[in-house]
Amino acid sequence: MGRFMGFLFILAALAGCGDDEEWAEAERESAEAEKEFIENYFTAWEESLEYQNFSMVEPYFVINTHGYHTERRHHQQLVSSRKMEEIGTVNEITPQENQYGDERMKVEAEFSIQERGEISSETRTRYFYLMQDNDDWKVDAIGREDS
């Protein structure tokens, strides 16, 4: 039994030693179109919260993906808690690529959050994982990094 537990420990340690993804700024022809898509998405996101209607942003997503359901759930949580997010100044929209060739857009922006009559401001980072569907961009997933 002791050897078996030792084997499991070594196996677990090796499984945790995988390479971490390293993202770096990247040049790509589609960067401007991706930036425009994200800016339009932010406008639609704010309106969808105002009207409490997620279907306003559905055209921006790859439907029935994990990312779609995660954002739908996040939207429902914001609406049910009567929380409004407004995107103020966008500080940075940068195309990135990792060592495996995966691409994303890093967006750092000032968010104004209104909750129960109180307004606060936060700098937040979002990572948009986009894909092309015919000639349209779609959100596959959005990563969040809140300060």
pLDDT by residue (tens digit) across 12-24? 444 445 558 899 9
Rg of the chain over CA atoms, in angstroms?
Answer: 19
Classify domain 26-146 by CATH architecture. Roll (3.10)
Residue ranges per structural domain of the chain: 26-146
> Residue 42: CB partners within 8 Å, gap ≥ 6?
87, 90, 109
Residue 117 pLDDT:
87
Residue 3 pLDDT:
58
pLDDT by residue (tens digit) across 95-143? 999 999 999 999 999 999 998 889 999 999 999 999 998 889 999 999 9
Q: How sure is the predictor about 8, in pLDDT bands with cuts at 50, 70 and 90?
A: very low
Question: Which DSSP string corresponds to 60-95?
Answer: GB-TTSHHHHHHHHHHHHHHHTTEEEEEEEEEEEEE
Average pLDDT over residues 29-44: 95
Residue 128 pLDDT:
97
Tell me which long-range contacts 22-28 makes (C-beta under 8 A, separation of at least 24). 22/98, 22/99, 23/96, 23/97, 23/98, 23/104, 23/106, 24/96, 24/97, 24/98, 25/94, 25/95, 25/96, 26/95, 26/96, 26/97, 26/103, 27/95, 28/95, 28/97, 28/103
Per the CB < 8 A criterion, the answer to whether 68 and 144 are in contact is no
pLDDT by residue (tens digit) across 58-91? 999 999 999 999 999 999 999 999 998 999 999 9
